[in-house]
Amino acid sequence: MAMPLALAALVGVGLGRWAPSGLFEAWSLCLLFLVARGEWRAVALAAVFAFAASQVLLAQGAELPDGLLRADLALEGRIESVEKEGRLSRLMVRVDACRPWDSARLPCDSLRRVRLSFFEAPEVEPGERWAMTVRLRPPGGFANPGTFDYGAWLWREGIQATGYVRSEPGAERLAAAPTSLRQRALNYLDERQLSPQTRRWLAALTLGASERLGRDDWDLLNASGTTHLVVISGLHVGLVATFVLLASRALARLVVPRRWRMAVWPWWLAGVATVGYAWLAGLEPPAMRAMIMTLIGLWVASGRHAPGPWQAWWLALGLVIAFDPLSAWRPGLWLSFLAVALLILIWQGRPRPRGVSGWGRGLVRTQLLLAPLMAAAVLLAFARLAPAAPLVNLVAVPLVSLLLVPLGLLGWLFAPLPYLGDWCWRLFEYAARLLVGLLELAVERLPLWWPSPEQVLPLALMLGLVALLWALPGLTRTLRLGAALLLVPAMLGLTAPLSEPGALRVRVQDVGQGQLIELRSANYRLLYDSGPRFASGFAPLSSLWPAGQHFDEVIVSHGDLDHAGGVAVLAAEHAVGRYLAPSGESIGVPFESCRRGQAWQRDGVSYRVLWPPEETEQLSNNDRSCVLEVTAGSDRLLITGDVGREIERMFLLDVELPVTLLVAGHHGSHTSSGPHLVQWVAPRHVIYSVARHSAFGHPHDEVVRRFRRAGSCQWSTALDGAVTFWLGREEQVSLHAERDIPWRRGGVEGWCHGVESRH
């Protein structure tokens, strides 16, 4: 029954997220029918399904309505966490009360959790209650291939809105933070004479306070594939349960020597220790998940009316999702359960190792089999691969589980005797330094690798299949080795880069209110514009690729911050062969002037600059934008920057027809994409590079209608995320939108998406 219940919960959270119309009406009728027939097992499954789906629907319904965008709201709530970056503080707030200052607006009392930016905030501590005036927006983020999905992160963390705290009227502290046992422990740790690094790692490994780790710590852990060692997981909770169980059974052997094997209370004490440790760690989702899995593991190990390993696995999965339905979207859940599933597959039916050498060989074999499966899962979840992880974990896992965690916990156990406690923590400090030195050495030799988005799925499939081949029982070593060797070239062949002569990949990245377009052929890479830079200093370009990329050319259409904002990141982190920009502009790096008549060819693809002329002094910043035409086979791309309607008419007759793809001028503003250009060019596809909930109203109503009358398929990065087009191929133009939204399908014909402005 455990597997059907878990599957019912999974289906419930899935359909709750993307519920088709009429789903719950149909479910209600089915439930009544099952009750009438007395099918109680089916009723239980339907109830689990309904509960999981309803929780997801409630979370969706609590999101900020669009009608409260940029409205002043009076909000009261308790601070859950604080992250400080210079003069900026980022707050996670559990909402107690919310109301608009304007009583005529929609209510906001359904909000449960919000994330706020607070510039030059006073001293704010977790647990405090505050009243503040905020401006919020519905949750969302950029959607680009192979990058962190901020919108998905907001969803799975249960955040219904993001925004900022207004300086006027000022925020007010309503109540101080209650002092919890965990907070008292962290305060005690801060008072000890330990290095900052030791305090951070002690807090993370023993109290689950991973928020105390700095960015450098996380970069090192990610690059070495050891993040799982510092996030409270089954490893940490299981160690606590094991220590308590062994100590309790040793005590039982002394108290009842004849019946100690039958004693039940050691198992109950281990369970109590499991719950207590998870509670001390804050019962965050990873701790909750580890607690449930450890409790069920204790039940299975006890052998008292216990389920089998696979029944226990399904039971744990069902309970975790039932307690926290949003956890189904957290990668950590699937990483944990995949690891446990593989451990069951590896060890089920195999004889128990004997002696130290037997256990050592078993642990090495286990780690080597876990490595490819975990690498595949991390690739799918985070699009990164840590080559050092298999070898590093062979040393790091025993070091953390047998030395660091026990020493850290013993330090807390001996806290009433400061001399003994500090002695344990000094040993912890030496071991932590050893571990950090090992990780740094491994990462220096085998740095983190970020494969291209096209490589992620084939590589993940190859690694996952290799892990299964070596884990499944009954296969000969020759068969396993031969199949693994055949998989490597087969999968690597799927990751071959674009090499067809004359083919071009055009990707309009989702960067909000700005523009960044990547053009790539077999041996050539060009960027048109570098995206915006926001008031916080963040440039979206920095999140698109790892450092060390090479771009043959970068064309900056003009010097406005929404087009040239990422140039500083390009100069600092990447290699650029040549910058092109209009004369008279300032973009922060040396550049050559782009001017009408320039032309070049790479990999059978032709590039031609249609604007500006040599004399640009009389033109505005927008009107001197570089206009680029690209021809790949029979397909043609036109990018017009921010030029206005009058300038469009000056180069209109130079445009070669037909035009397959047009990047709408000035983000779809009514000042560009005039009637003459739209009627003359009549592009097959047009795309608007715009922000969600654009304050400028992009794309403008009239521009959208104009392209619709011309029969163009319309796309928007605000709705579709990054959109990728493949031009110059023999077959019809193919494309991919990073967000696949069912209600957006339709439009003019085929895979066109109908775009409407926010008005």
Ranges 83-97, 398-412, 521-535, most confident? 521-535
Question: Rounded to an integer, what distance in angstroms lies between the CA atom of residue 140 and that of residue 142?
Answer: 7
Question: Rounded to an integer, what distance in angstroms lies between the CA atom of residue 577 and that of residue 453?
Answer: 24
Same-domain status, 434 and 564:
no
Is residue 530 in some structural domain? yes
What is the radius of gyration, based on Cα positions, of the chain? 29
Q: Is pLDDT above 80 for 65?
A: yes
- Whether 665 contacts 691, CB under 8 Å: no
Is residue 462 in some structural domain? no
Question: Rounded to an integer, what distance in angstroms lies between the CA atom of residue 378 and that of residue 373?
Answer: 9
Residues in the chain: 759
Region 367-371: what's the mean pLDDT?
83
Same-domain status, 121 and 258:
no
Q: In whole angstroms, how far apart are CA 708 and each of 90, 583, 701, 711?
A: 42, 35, 11, 5
The predicted pLDDT at position 495 comes to 54
Question: Rounded to an integer, what distance in angstroms lies between the CA atom of residue 615 and that of residue 650?
Answer: 14
Same-domain status, 555 and 447:
no
The predicted pLDDT at position 375 comes to 87
Give 104 or 400, the one with higher predicted confidence: 400
C-alpha closest to that of 302 among 265, 257, 342, 341: 265
Give 30 or 456, the one with higher predicted confidence: 456
pLDDT-above-90 percentage for the chain:
34
> Which letter does DSSP use for residue 446 in this model?
S
Assign 33 a pLDDT band (cuts: 50, 70, 90).
Answer: low
Digit-coded pLDDT (tens) for 131-173: 999 999 998 889 999 888 888 889 888 899 999 999 888 889 9
Range name among 215-224, 514-523, 728-737 with the lowest pLDDT average: 728-737
- Whether 687 contacts 738, CB under 8 Å: no
Is residue 128 in some structural domain? yes
Tell me how many domains the chain contains: 4
The predicted pLDDT at position 659 comes to 95
The predicted pLDDT at position 559 comes to 92
Is residue 72 in some structural domain? yes
Task: Say what the pTM is.
Answer: 0.82
The predicted pLDDT at position 729 comes to 81
Region 450-468: what's the mean pLDDT?
83
Same-domain status, 171 and 197:
no
Same-domain status, 307 and 426:
yes
Same-domain status, 15 and 129:
no
The predicted pLDDT at position 499 comes to 59
Q: Which residues pair with 119 in a beta bridge?
A: 88
Same-domain status, 437 and 320:
yes
At 638 the three-state DSSP class reads strand
Q: Is pLDDT above 90 for 553?
A: yes
Same-domain status, 689 and 618:
yes
Q: Which one of 123, 142, 175 terminates a domain?
A: 175
Which residues span the domain enclosing 441? 183-349+372-454
Digit-coded pLDDT (tens) for 640-681: 999 999 999 999 989 999 999 999 999 999 999 999 999 999
Question: Rounded to an integer, what distance in angstroms lies between the CA atom of residue 43 and that of residue 47?
Answer: 6
Assign 116 a pLDDT band (cuts: 50, 70, 90).
Answer: very high
pLDDT-above-70 percentage for the chain:
91
Kindly report the backbone phi and psi dihedral angles of residue 601, in degrees, each rounded to the nearest multiple of 5, phi listed first: -135, 135
Is residue 581 in some structural domain? yes
Same-domain status, 74 and 142:
yes
Same-domain status, 440 and 583:
no
Ranges 178-187, 350-359, 543-552, most confident? 543-552
Assign 494 a pLDDT band (cuts: 50, 70, 90).
Answer: low
Query: Both tokens of residue 286?
Result: 């990873």
At 136 the three-state DSSP class reads strand
Q: H helices of 518-605, where?
A: 561-564, 567-573
Given the DSSP bridges, would you call strands 635-639 and 627-632 parallel, antiparallel or unpaired? antiparallel
Q: Which residue has the tokens 């795309």?
A: 687
Is residue 759 in some structural domain? no
Question: Rounded to an integer, what distance in angstroms lies between the CA atom of residue 511 and that of residue 225?
Answer: 29
Q: Which one of 146, 175, 204 terminates a domain?
A: 175
Q: Which one of 123, 147, 175 terminates a domain?
A: 175
The predicted pLDDT at position 758 comes to 41
Is residue 470 in some structural domain? no
Residue 281: how many other CB atoms lie within 10 Å: 22
Question: Rounded to an integer, what distance in angstroms lies between the CA atom of residue 388 and that of residue 9?
Answer: 37
Render the burial of 541-567: b for 16+ CB within 10 Å, e for the rest: bbbbbeeeeebbbbbbbbbbebbbbbb
Is residue 362 in some structural domain? no
Q: Rounded mean pLDDT of the chain?
A: 85
Question: Rounded to an integer, what distance in angstroms lies between the CA atom of residue 374 and that of residue 341?
Answer: 12
- Domain with 518 in it: what CATH number? 3.60.15.10
Q: What is the largest CA-CA distance in the chain?
A: 100
Q: In whole angstroms, how far apart are CA 634 and each of 498, 631, 638, 658, 697?
A: 18, 7, 13, 9, 34
The predicted pLDDT at position 323 comes to 83
Digit-coded pLDDT (tens) for 259-289: 766 777 888 888 898 888 888 877 777 888 8
Same-domain status, 575 and 678:
yes
Same-domain status, 263 and 304:
yes
